[in-house]
């Protein structure tokens, strides 16, 4: 694997099936999925990640994968499940995502613990990786976080979301009829997922860890 990440993936069920069919990629099965050509342009960018919420952004690994798996298993035993209210379709910048509407303090703390606990396994960013983050567009604090943790949107800059599209002009309401019946009234995270990126840039589920 080229990079690793810790994601939230929907558990097996209607939302996970929707994600695979909407994006055209199933990270659990590790295969392309047929989906409507009418949405292809909307999902080209997020397709390779699968339907997910980032908890620790993709990073190159120091050391063997087996050591990382041991660490993630150790971490999962130290964490507790979190709840964050209902999921709703929202616009974040130029893209659409599912965003929890309740108190996210526990969720933000969960993500911060994952970032800090696993950071010793992250290889330092290369100059090219830093450049891809467009540091000139970041705030001073985001640049500090990029330098320290390898990603600018962590700690107080973190906002959990489950990406649905790339840049688009589609209104959130357009997806409501299809998605609303699938969304929980109280979104919870009960496990964390170790993901790996293949040579084509697509992410695969390597292992789920209950918390």
Q: Is 141 inside a domain boundary?
A: no
State which residues form the domain around 167. Answer: 4-103+162-210
Q: Is 109 inside a domain boundary?
A: no
By the 10 Å C-beta count (0-12 exposed, 13-18 middle, 19+ buried), 96 is classed as buried
Above 90 in pLDDT, residue 168? Answer: no
The SS3 assignment for 82 reads strand
Find out whether 113 and 79 touch, Cβ atoms under 8 Å. yes
Average pLDDT, the chain: 93
Angle subtended at Cα 101 by Cα 210 and Cα 8, rounded to the nearest 5 degrees: 25
The SS3 assignment for 31 reads strand
- The full DSSP string for 112-138 is HHHHHHHGGGBPPPPHHHHHHT-GGGS
pLDDT band at 169 (very low <50, low <70, confident <90, very high): confident
Q: Is 30 inside a domain boundary?
A: yes
Count of Cβ atoms closer than 10 Å to residue 18 Cβ: 18
Tell me how far apart the alpha carbons of residues 68 and 76 are, in angstroms, rounded to a whole number. 12
Look at residue 205 in the predicted model and tell me its pLDDT. 98
Tell me how far apart the alpha carbons of residues 183 and 35 are, in angstroms, rounded to a whole number. 20
Look at residue 170 in the predicted model and tell me its pLDDT. 84
Q: Is 147 inside a domain boundary?
A: no
Q: Is 114 inside a domain boundary?
A: no
Total domains, the chain: 1
Tell me how far apart the alpha carbons of residues 157 and 148 are, in angstroms, rounded to a whole number. 13
Nearest partner of 98 among 23, 160, 26, 166, judged by Cα: 160
Above 80 in pLDDT, residue 162? Answer: yes
Q: Is 95 inside a domain boundary?
A: yes
Look at residue 40 in the predicted model and tell me its pLDDT. 81
| pLDDT, tens digit (0-9, with 9 covering 90-100), for 27-45 | 999 999 887 666 788 888 8
**Predicted structure pTM score:** 0.93
What CATH number does residue 195 fall under? 3.90.1140
Q: Is 142 inside a domain boundary?
A: no
CA-only gyration radius of the chain, Å = 17
Look at residue 174 in the predicted model and tell me its pLDDT. 85
Look at residue 202 in the predicted model and tell me its pLDDT. 95
Q: Is 12 inside a domain boundary?
A: yes
């Amino acid at each position: 694997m080229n990079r690793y990440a810790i994601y939230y993936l929907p558990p097996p069920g209607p939302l996970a099936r929707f994600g695979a069919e909407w994006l055209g990629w199933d990270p659990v099965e590790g295969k392309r999925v047929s989906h409507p050509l009418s949405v292809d342009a909307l999902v080209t960018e997020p397709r390779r990640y699968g339907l997910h919420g980032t908890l620790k952004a993709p990073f190159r690994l120091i050391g063997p994968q087996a050591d990382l798996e041991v660490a993630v298993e150790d971490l999962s035993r130290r964490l507790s499940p979190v709840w964050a209210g209902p999921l709703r379709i929202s616009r974040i910048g130029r893209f659409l995502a599912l965003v929890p509407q309740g108190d996210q303090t526990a969720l933000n703390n969960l993500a911060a613990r994952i970032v800090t606990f696993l950071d010793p396994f992250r290889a330092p960013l290369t100059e090219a990786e830093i450049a891809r983050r467009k540091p000139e567009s970041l705030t001073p604090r985001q640049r500090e976080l990029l330098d320290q943790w390898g990603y600018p949107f962590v700690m107080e800059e973190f906002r959990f979301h489950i990406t649905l599209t790339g840049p688009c002009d589609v209104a959130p309401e357009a997806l409501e009829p299809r998605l609303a019946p699938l969304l929980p009234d109280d979104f919870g995270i009960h496990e964390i997922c170790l993901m790996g990126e293949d040579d084509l840039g697509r992410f695969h589920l390597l292992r789920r860890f209950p918390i």
